[in-house]
Amino acid sequence: MMIQGIRSFGPEKGETIIFTAPLTLIVGWNGSGKTTIIESLKYATTGDLPPNSKTGGAFIHDPKLRNEKEVLAQVKLSFRSTSGVRMVATRNLQVTVKKTARSQKTLEGSLLMIKDGEKHSISTRVAELDQIIPQYLGVSKAILENVIFCHQEDSLWPMSDPSTLKKKFDEIFEALKYTKAIDNIKMIRKTPSPPSNSAYATSTPS
Ligand X SMILES: Nc1ncnc2c1ncn2[C@@H]1O[C@H](COP(=O)(O)OP(=O)(O)OP(=O)(O)O)[C@@H](O)[C@H]1O
33 contributes a contact to ligand X by CB under 6 A:
yes
Q: How far apart are the C-alpha atoms of 57 and 7, rounded to whole Å?
A: 9
Report the nearest approach of ligand X to the CB of residue 74 (Å).
Answer: 15
CB closer to ligand X out of 87 and 93? 93
CB closer to ligand X out of 7 and 91? 7
Angle between helices 126-137 and 34-46 (to 10 degrees): 100
Cα 80 from chain centre = 15
Q: Are 85 and 79 in contact (CB under 8 A)?
A: no
Q: How far apart are the C-alpha atoms of 174 and 76, rounded to whole Å?
A: 28
Number of residues that bind ligand X (CB under 6 A): 14
Residue 206 gets which letter from DSSP?
A: -
CB closer to ligand X out of 54 and 125? 54
94 contributes a contact to ligand X by CB under 6 A:
no
User: Given CA atoms 53, 56, 60, 64 in this order, what sign does their dihedral have?
Assistant: negative
Q: Which of 1, 4, 36, 77 binds ligand X (CB under 6 A)?
A: 36
Q: Which stretch binds ligand X (CB under 6 A): 26-34, 85-93, 108-116, 164-172?
A: 26-34
Cα 67 from chain centre = 32
Report the nearest approach of ligand X to the CB of residue 54 (Å).
Answer: 13
32 contributes a contact to ligand X by CB under 6 A:
yes
Q: Which stretch binds ligand X (CB under 6 A): 27-35, 75-83, 161-169, 183-191?
A: 27-35
Q: How far apart are the C-alpha atoms of 159 and 171, rounded to whole Å?
A: 16
30 contributes a contact to ligand X by CB under 6 A:
yes
Binding residues for ligand X, rule: CB under 6 A, are 7-8, 28, 30-36, 58, 61-62, 65
